[in-house]
Amino acid sequence: MLKRNRIEEKESEYHFPILIAEDNPVTRKLIGKILMNAGHEVVLAENGIDALTLFNEKFYPMVVTDWIMPEMNGLELCKAIRSRINQSYVFIVLLTAKDSKYDIITGLEAGADDYLTKPFNKAELLARLKTGIRILELEASLRKVNEEITILSRTDPLTGCYNRCYLNERLPIEIKRAERYRRPLSMILCDIDHFKKVNDKYGHQTGDLILKEFVRCIKRSIRNPLDALVRYGGEEFLLILPETNLSDAIRVAKRICGTISKHAIKVQQNEIYITASFGVTSFENDSHRNDFSADNLIRQADRFLYQAKEEGRNRVKFG
């Protein structure tokens, strides 16, 4: 019978929950008490099967397991955990009375990171877990740095919205999803009217401020993070709207158009008003077009944007 015994987490600088697999109730309780007093969150399992069940329900970055257990032993548990694609690394300590060199090698080859023989010393157990914590913290910090680098590589440094690199990744995915599930997908291409004149009159610093304010206005009108705002060109921006049909996309574009035209951008003692033009296109779930591609979708949105410019700007054209 599967038992889940949770031990309350105390204040600690560490935040890695530990899964304990131990069939001996006295040893299991002792390990739990030691780790609880050290400030860890601990979950206890009576054998390898129960431990793997708990691991499948919730990810545990640290596992302490006995070697000899009924139903599934510690080596089998190690191999099962290593065979999974986990969200991050799992530090595994194998706990057993087996202490020959052959046994140690066997345990490490099965996937254990460290080895502790019974009867174990409390200080040694905590020291080995601290080694695991340092490894997990290093991995977490490296993962965070990599995530930040990825975000920077896909983000426009001035406005904070996505860039063309992100567009090239995201749009084909959304198109495939819309085609596969016959779901609507819309796109809005917008351009700030007479932006060059604004730059010439007020300077590039003011122009940069206007671009930032323009993006803020748009972001307040879309569903973050479902919708995606991309800086497509200098003052040209593209909106990807999944699960949005043409009529809804037109409403979004008109709402943004109206908001932009009424929004005062304060620059020193001046209030600057701008307008923008919008081209809207859509893939509907009941259409059967053969030209549905990223290039064609952008080309259609650009054609309607051009019409909006030709007809006087500060308006939305669609089709």
Do 197 and 273 lie in one domain? The reply is yes
Do 175 and 147 lie in one domain? The reply is no
Q: What percent of the chain has pLDDT over 70?
A: 93
Please identify which residue in the block is written with the tokens 């490296």. 142
Do 201 and 139 lie in one domain? The reply is no
Arithmetic mean of pLDDT over the chain: 90
Single-letter residue type at 314: N
Residue 173 lies in a domain: yes
CATH of the domain at 267: 3.30.70.270
Do 216 and 128 lie in one domain? The reply is no
Element (H, E) at 199: helix 195-202
Total structural domains in the chain? 2
Residue 10 lies in a domain: yes
Do 13 and 107 lie in one domain? The reply is yes
Do 126 and 60 lie in one domain? The reply is yes
CA terminus-to-terminus distance, the chain: 62
Q: Which of 139, 147, 235, 236 is catalytic?
A: 235
Q: DSSP letter at 191?
A: E
Q: DSSP letter at 235?
A: S
Residue 158 lies in a domain: no
Nearest Cα to Cα of residue 159 among 196, 191, 207, 202: 207
pLDDT digits (tens, 9 = 90+) for 48-62: 999 999 999 999 999
CATH of the domain at 140: 3.40.50.2300
Do 59 and 21 lie in one domain? The reply is yes
**Spatial distance between the Cα atoms of 277 and 260, rounded to a whole number of angstroms:** 10
Do 187 and 273 lie in one domain? The reply is yes
Do 138 and 205 lie in one domain? The reply is no
User: The domain containing residue 67 runs over which residues?
Assistant: 5-152
**Spatial distance between the Cα atoms of 124 and 135, rounded to a whole number of angstroms:** 17
> Do 66 and 22 contact (CB within 8 A), yes or no?
yes
- Tokens read off for 117: 């023989």
Strand partners, 64: 20, 93
Residue 67 lies in a domain: yes
**Spatial distance between the Cα atoms of 90 and 183, rounded to a whole number of angstroms:** 39
Residue 303 lies in a domain: yes
Angle between helices 164-181 and 294-310 (to 10 degrees): 110
Do 118 and 95 lie in one domain? The reply is yes
pLDDT at 208 > cutoff 80: yes
**Spatial distance between the Cα atoms of 285 and 53, rounded to a whole number of angstroms:** 41
| Exposure string for 174-213, b = 16+ CB within 10 A, e = fewer | bbeebeeeebbbbbbbbbbbebeebbeebeeebbebbbeb
- Overall pTM surpassing 0.75 (yes/no): no
Residue 157 lies in a domain: no
pLDDT digits (tens, 9 = 90+) for 286-301: 554 556 789 999 999 9
Residue 229 lies in a domain: yes
Supply the Cα-derived Rg of the chain in whole angstroms: 29
Instruction: Give me the pLDDT at residue 13, please.
Output: 45
* Domain end position, chosen among 128, 152, 176: 152
pLDDT digits (tens, 9 = 90+) for 98-132: 878 888 899 899 999 998 988 889 999 999 999 99
235 is catalytic: yes
**Spatial distance between the Cα atoms of 107 and 102, rounded to a whole number of angstroms:** 9
* Domain end position, chosen among 89, 120, 152: 152
Do 144 and 196 lie in one domain? The reply is no
- Tokens read off for 227: 């919708």
Do 146 and 187 lie in one domain? The reply is no
- Tokens read off for 52: 């793997």
* Domain end position, chosen among 123, 152, 181: 152
- Tokens read off for 9: 């987490």
Residue 200 lies in a domain: yes
